[in-house]
Structure 1
Amino acid sequence: MKYGVLGDVHSNLSALEEALAEMDRRGVDVVVSVGDVVGYGAAPSETIQLLRDRNVWVVKGNHDAACVGDEDDRYFNRYAREAVRWTRSTLGGDELDWLRALPMTLELEHCHVAHGTLDSPEAYEYTLGVQNARPSIDHMSKQVCFVGHSHIPVTILLPSESPTRVALAPDPFLDLTEAHRAIVNVGSVGQPRDEDPRLAMGIYDVDAATIEIVRREYDIEREAARIRAAGLPNVLADRLWLGL
């Protein structure tokens, strides 16, 4: 059994298409998304349609929530706020209803999925390291929980031999055989922020007990041009080249 894990897509259609193609090449059985499928990018309708066509399991991110009025966009920075309001005006009623109906968390057969944290998903807090990971770990009944929100790959482990010690695991290839719990952020598909402009995604092989964070090139120019053509702030296009 293999899961494909989509980090924050943010309406980046070219990156999403490449991520799904790579998952197909690797024989993924189930695809999950940690939310923020819209915002920043200029292909929200196409992104939503592709996720729906592929039966992707999706949770609600803060940008998704802001687009349907469930989150106050006044707390967003200026560029994010402009993108949210543009997205809201662009999407149709059925697409907005789909975003509105997304769950805050998912518990699947082999993993949990949340956007920020598992213990208080509605707060949209960041899971950045060992300091704030413990509440989510205490809510886990599965070995693995996938999160997003920060756009930066990180794995937080609770080792089986030391269940009181929480540790960071920087390696992009993770062996779960000695992990009691693991919270994994695979990075962002559509807007990486770790100074690597390649899309980031995850492959969770249940049978092999491994998680791999995969990086792939995609057509950044196509998405940058789409953002500029939509009249969105140029910085949202330029940052794609920088991975910021």
Structure 2
Amino acid sequence: MKIALFSDVHANLPAFEAMLQDMDSQMPDAVYCLGDLVGYHIWPNEVIAEIRKRGIATLKGNHDEKVENLITTADSLNEQGKKYAYHLISEDNREYLRTLPAHIRLEFKLNTEKLNLVFAHGSTRSIDEYILIDTDETYILDLLQEADADLLFVGHSHKPFHRVMQAGNGRFQHVINIGSVGKPKDGDTRGCYVMLTLDNNASVINNEGIKIEFRRVAYDVETSSRSIEDSLLPNEFAQALRIAK
């Protein structure tokens, strides 16, 4: 079973299209998005349209949540600033974002053993909680137990990592931050997503049956950045793409 997971596209269509092309070449059996389709860039409707066309199961991110009480007027569409990115979103796509779920859970039974995968944007406790590579291990283990998760996949921080922790009784638990497609913050300008492979031996006591691959995908960063500078969005958003910070 091959599962592709991506997050934090942030309306960056060139990065999204490059990621989709690479992802399609991998022929995953299932695809999930962990949220933040919008914000920071000028193509939210095009990104949402492709997500909906493909029928990709998608979570609500904290930026997707910003449309819930958004009122767009003629003035707001011509107003420079960070909020402009959300006013670009069509009403139909806003309704789609409003109805996205907070979490997705998959339960596998391999060799009679249960393996639970849980997907969240920030964490299972909060849509905007940062789970980082150096987050306290005891805290993460409590979080995993609370969520009944053997593998927890998150986004939000835009900083990819895979951390394996021993939970006792010979069991291992995993937390994976899948990085960002459209706005990396780890110094690498390439988009990032994860390809998870589970074989028949995958279990909480056999890590060899669980493969996490971080795939980095190059795209035309400069063209994407200039499109921001040619819009009403702050130029700082363009520079963030160039330096991936």
TM-score (norm 1): 0.82
Name the % identity. Answer: 33
What do the CA deviations read for 1:145-191 (whole angstroms, capped 9, x no partner)? 210111101223223xx539xxxxxxxxxxxxx86221100211101
CA contact (8 A) 1:36 1:60 kept: yes
Q: What is aligned with 1:126?
A: 130
Match runs of 1:1-244 below 5 Å: 1-69=1-69, 82-83=81-82, 85-109=83-107, 111-118=117-124, 120-122=125-127, 124-128=128-132, 129-131=134-136, 132-159=139-166, 162-163=167-168, 180-207=172-199, 208-244=209-245
Q: Which runs of 5+ in 1 are unaligned?
A: 71-80, 165-177
With over 3 angstroms needed to count, the CA separation of the structure-2 counterparts of 1:182 and 1:94, relative to structure 1, is: same
Aligned counterparts of 2:147 and 2:101: Cα–Cα separation in 1: 17
Q: Is the 8 A contact 2:42 2:88 kept in 1?
A: no
Q: 1:68·1:88 contact (CA, 8 Å) conserved in 2?
A: no
Q: Please give the alpha-carbon distance, in whole angstroms, between the structure 2 residues aligned to 1:50 and 1:112.
A: 24
State TM-score, norm by structure 2: 0.81
Structure 2: runs of 5+ lacking an equivalent: 71-79, 109-116, 200-208
Q: 2: CA distance between counterparts of 1:142 and 1:188? A: 22
Q: Is 1:7–1:185's contact at 8 Å kept on the other side of the alignment?
A: no
Amino acid at match of 1:205: T
**Mapped contact 1:16–1:47 kept (Cα < 8 A):** yes
Deviation at 1:56, TM superposition (A): 1.3
Change (3 A) 1:15 1:95: same
Query: In 1, distance between residues paired with 2:36 and 2:17?
Result: 16
CA 1:150/1:243 → structure 2, altered by over 3 Å: closer, same or farther? same
| Residues 121-164 of structure 1 deviation map (CA, whole Å, 9 limit, x = unaligned) | 34x211113414233211343432210111101223223xx539
Instruction: Give per-residue Cα distances to partners, 1:90-123, cap 9 Å, x unaligned.
Output: 11111000000011111134521101111x134x
Q: Distance in 1 between matches of 2:85 and 2:242?
A: 22
Q: Contact 1:157 / 1:179 at 8 angstroms: preserved in 2? A: no
How many residues get paired? 216
Partner of 2:111: none
Q: Indicate conservation of the 8 Å contact 1:105/1:121, yes or no.
A: no
Counterpart CA distance in 2 for 1:231 and 1:198 is: 24
Asked whether the 8 Å contact 2:35–2:64 carries over to 1, the reply is yes
SS in structure 2 of the partner of residue 50 of structure 1:
helix
Helix, strand or coil: the match of 1:121?
coil
Structure 1 CA distance, aligned partners of 2:130 and 2:149?
A: 20
Asked if 1 retains the 8 angstrom alpha-carbon contact of 2:38 and 2:86, the reply is no
Report Cα offsets for 1:26-55 as digits up to 9, x if no partner: 111211111111111111000111111111
**What is the Cα-based RMSD across aligned positions, in Å?**
2.1
Q: Which has the larger radius of gyration?
A: 2
Q: CA-to-partner distance for each residue in 1:51-95, whole Å, 9 max, x for gaps?
A: 11111111111111112239xxxxxxxxxx933x21332111110
SS in 1 for 2:145: helix
